[in-house]
Structure 1
Amino acid sequence: MSAGGLLVCLLAVFQLGSRAQYAPDEVTYLPGMTFKPNFRQWSGYLQARPGKFFHYWFVTSQRDPVKDPLVLWLNGGPGCSSLDGFLSENGPFHVNDDGATLYENTFSWNKIANVLYVESPAGVGYSYSDDKDYATDDDRVADDNYRALQSFFTKFPNFTQNEFFIFGESYGGIYAPTLSLRVATGKAKINFKGFAVGNGISSFDLNDQSLIYFGYYHGLFGEDLWRDLNINCCDKGNCNFFNSSSSTCRIFVDVAFGIVYNSGVNEYALYLDCEGGRSFHKGYEMTMSHLFRNYLTLTHPTSFQISCLPPCL
């Protein structure tokens, strides 16, 4: 056999051996898929610690899986499944309104990257704990995410050389940097390049403080409410909109929050047309209570109301 033929043979054996480690997790068929995917995907479990297993879904890049970066995606909550991001945000396919068929997401992140979605911590989505103990904290989640990541690279060793990035959304503002610290300082051989956070929570204090300024400087409420907030929440130029001891201040903060979230505007895209009289589902209420500790308008509505007709500014 020629040297070239021997090399091809050895490469084929290597690829077969590496695939065999995770072949049982490979997804080869999905009911309701209306297009033929040009990528490979796997779904299974990663061990976070003895008796704790995190569910993952991994999709390869549609461009060049060998050279393209590897991205870990974590939704927030805490308690939100990363399949939310997979099936409704940046995954390769989304669910149609009929709940039974899938359509291609032309803006999927796996157009240019290999993307790993992990449901964390145990108790979220399909992730579980053998002992049914789901008590946790931020440090434990970071440790478990780091171990799960090492479990992933044990299953997929041929991705250890790819550039690796961590992305988080919402409470991912906690998950992403704490995990990144473990990865950057840990002994695991990971080609870590950085992390990013979208719509992140890193400080409840900062979130509540900034929301008041956001509302005022974007014209969502006027000078009267701004004056009342300053009179009752500020002292010598220092304002406390987060945990003021003044009950009057808290009332006006509640009014400001109600304007931002109950007026019908899209708080993530203020210059689009108004959404109109929308009703909030429980998931939205739960999310807002996690992100903004002073968000009381859903359960304690104020009498302050504004009307909004499209287009809203």
Structure 2
Amino acid sequence: MKKIMVLAATMAVTASMICGCSSVNKDAANGSGSGKSIFKIDHQSCSVSQARIYLLNYQNIYGKMYEMDVTTQEDKVESFESYIKEMTLSQLAQTVAMAQLAQERELSLSEQTLESISNAAEAYYESLTDEEINYTSATKAQIEEMYQQYALANLLYSSLTESVSEEVSDNEARVMKIHQIYVTDEETANTVSKKLEAGGDFDSVAATYTQADSVSLEVRRGDLPQEVEDVAFEMEDGDTSSMIETSAGYYFVYCENHYLKEETDNNKQLVVQERKTEAFESEYHSYLSSVTTKLNESVWDQVEMVTGDGYESNSFFTTYSEYCE
């Protein structure tokens, strides 16, 4: 799950491709039967049954995460359902598209993986209540197909990112602690500059003049305007910068600690992930621009959450992880 879910931006792009495509199926039949298609990406479609499995799991996963009881908090149900449906469509569309691209690249699952998927599908299906089976119309074969698509999507991601270097220097990943003063107008910036040059305490001057939300903060490369970053990451402990002009205003920086070791080590993992995401999206977005997509709006609009006893499944993804990762 984590390999796909980290690509939130990619999910949004995929969903917008489905929802905003010019080839939306306006002639789709009404109704919301489980066998009907929600959307189609080239030759691969997604059924109502598949969508309901995702929807059921997401409503319970995120309902618990946000401590929301959808059975009693009726005033929040509509906005929550809209959010969950959007996430469901995004994740499903991305998984289907990635699985299809994997097949076009002739990537295939090993016999061992297929066996693990079969076991995972059986375990998840056995966990469903009668109410959930009736709601989703799920079969073990459908769940197995969904897990295969999910595995292919992960395989594609690994294939497109395997050449990404995981070597990250301390300087590239460095996290530092600074204090900042930010003002929008030149007159105030000149006043701040004079007070600091006269020996004024940085935090005291900041408390009076800064328009930033916070004075003290930990920053990594990319967090600050480029002009500010260029100065800040050349500073040593105890240094105070002169006025730094940017298109958005004026900055002053005090360096409290130019190298936070633990935070830098942790940031190396994020740098690697960003590299992988960039490598993946370059290929994936190119593929998305070449496919034909259709959304069956009349069917999707009728797919709704269900709540209450017997509708509590939230283990679709964790079951996959348990058996297949």
TM-score bracket for this pair, using the shorter chain length: under 0.3
Q: Provide TM-score, normalisation by structure 1.
A: 0.24
Q: Provide TM-score, normalisation by structure 2.
A: 0.23
More helix by share: 2
Query: Larger Rg: 1 or 2?
Result: 2
More strand by share: 1
- Which protein has greater RCO, CA pairs closer than 8 Å, 6+ apart? 2
